[in-house]
Amino acid sequence: MKRKYFGTDGVRGQVGKFPITPEFAIRLGIAAGRVLAHKQGARVIIGKDTRLSGYMLEAALESGFSAAGVSPVLLGPMPTPAVSYLTRAFRADLGVVISASHNPYFDNGIKFFSHEGTKLPDETEQRIEEALDGDLPLAQPAKFGRAFRQDDAPGRYVEFCKSTFNTGSSLAGLTIVLDCANGATYHVAPLVFSELGARVIEVGCRPNGININDNVGSTHPQTLIDKVLSSKADLGIAFDGDGDRVMMVDSMGHLLDGDAVLYIIAKDCAERGILKGGVVGTQMSNLGLELALRDLGIDFCRAKVGDRYVMEELLSRGWGLGGENSGHVICLDYVKTGDGIVSALQVLKAALRAQRDLGEMASGLSMLPQDLINVRMVAGFDALGDLRVQQEVRAVEQELGKRGRVLLRKSGTEPLVRVMVEGEDREAVHQMAQRIANVIREGAEGQ
């Protein structure tokens, strides 16, 4: 289904350029309100990350929803998974997050949650797009929505996160570095881990509107690694700008990505006999994860890239755990979307139960070397359909044989083509990825 405005994670782009403008946001609020909230007294929960442009888009969406007869409940800066949780907790009809996740501050986006706290299906987004392209009559003036601000939202989410940890268990004695990416977790994550007993060292917890994801957070893990080593901390945890991704670092500075987080949680759940079915990964999940899980007798399947597709696969199979190597991890026993804080707590819960260091918990996982190169897209050039690119991909696949794989895909959130090559030899994998990327660049330059 080809969509006009929505990508894999809502509507996203550069602020001030269509569609990330106040005019479009107002229309989007009206359209979504008319499509998703049909009853009198409908409510929508609106949260945002720490980007300066969030104020503008929040006000525009508030206006649009009110004009459609829907009452907006404003949370202020809150992680994406918090909006999912609070949408369900408040019995709201719709949840909205204003965020561009791991992108720089000059980008922003708008994504929606259903009343169940799940991402909207493609068909519903299609209905919103159809409404956007038509007439958008307003509600009768007497039926306009009323806006409210929910001041206790951070505290409610902190208590929810803590409830997913073992009752009576404590993180006392642990020193944890928390990198909040100057994003939406800056005021809640430190409270969660400190109230559970840990000594918390804060990184990326001073947002100013433009420093979100700026050399901090899960997309820049070296900052976390350096701080863990310099402070001699027991471990480190990094989130992205909106808090739905997590990366972890052990006391030796070794990085654990989303695949490692999935492995640790899955292994612990399987040992306790509470793993529901198998594990859902994506096309980007490392082959090493698949092999390690199968060694444990745990089924594994791959979904399309995007946590919405991981969720769809989980629901269709009746399984409870899935995620992406980027750090989106969904623990369906607790949450309906990726939640960085909750996922990190499940890893720490497993480590405490096993009485092992974080690094030891991932010792059964051998990751194959994987090289990922992002190539900027050029208008008019179809990298995936180009004959020269396809020929180079086939050549690399023949060289890898059954000991590796190649994945080429367009990003759903940025104007990029992602080139991923995986195999046994790190240097060979890097050279192969560079070869494909160079052919794409040459084709783009020839346009």
Active site residues: 101
User: 104 burial class (0-12, 13-18, 19+ CB within 10 angstroms)?
Assistant: middle
Are the beta carbons of 1 and 83 closer than 8 angstroms? no
Residues in Cβ contact with 372 at an 8 Å cutoff, skipping those fewer than 6 apart: 284, 418, 419, 420, 433
Are the beta carbons of 322 and 314 closer than 8 angstroms? yes
Exposure string for 243-278, b = 16+ CB within 10 A, e = fewer = bbbbbbbbbebebbbbbbbbbbbbbbbbeeeebeeb
Beta strands in 1-85 (DSSP E): 11-14, 43-48, 71-77
Q: At what angle do helices 258-272 and 340-354 cross, to 10 degrees?
A: 50
Element (H, E) at 303: strand 300-303
Q: H helices then E strands: how many in the chain?
A: 14, 18
- How is 178-200 classified by DSSP, letter by letter? EE-TTSTTTTTHHHHHHHTT-EE
> How far apart are the C-alpha atoms of 23 and 59, rounded to whole Å?
11
